[in-house]
Amino acid sequence: MRRQRKSLWSGWGSSVLVSVLAGALCIGAGAVLTAAIVYFVMKDMTMIRAFAGVSLAAGAYIAAYICGKYRRRKGLVCGIVCGALLYAVINLLAIIILGEWAGIKKLLLLTVFGAAGGVAGVNSKRPKKLRDQ
């Protein structure tokens, strides 16, 4: 008889870490894309803060959405935790690279969009290949 393994998404820590990694990759890709748009198309730095905020919000939303979609419970808490962990990563990188703390506005932005993504992920359609929950 075939032995059943536990899913990656059944554990709290592993699912949040995978989701935060996906969100961080999304933030990085969004930052590179918007930097290319500003440099090649706009040639003006006035909108760079707005583009950075959009990249952060999209990354937090996607991280929490993935966690909520596959965990299927506690989407609000999962989203807030994903947003807070993304803030911790960004804050750590800001301290290492720039030598200063990231602002509290980033924490609020990441937690609000993370909470919204977690709730949306829990309330979305169930993935077909998810069997153990």
Q: How confident is the model at residue 39 (pLDDT cuts 50, 70, 90)?
A: confident
Q: Is 99 left (phi over 0), alpha (psi -120 to 50) or beta?
A: left
Query: At which residue do the structure tokens 């905020």 appear?
Result: 53
Say how far apart CA 125 and CA 84 lie, in whole Å.
Answer: 26
Instruction: Supply the pTM of this predicted model.
Output: 0.84
DSSP state of 73: S
Are the C-beta atoms of residues 69 and 124 closer than 8 Å to each other? yes
What pLDDT score was predicted for residue 46? 84
pLDDT at 11 over 80: no
pLDDT at 89 over 80: yes
pLDDT at 16 over 90: no
4-8, 25-29, 99-103, 124-128: least confident range: 4-8
* Radius of gyration of the chain, Cα coordinates, nearest whole angstrom: 17
Which token pair is 92? Answer: 């750590």
Q: How confident is the model at residue 13 (pLDDT cuts 50, 70, 90)?
A: confident
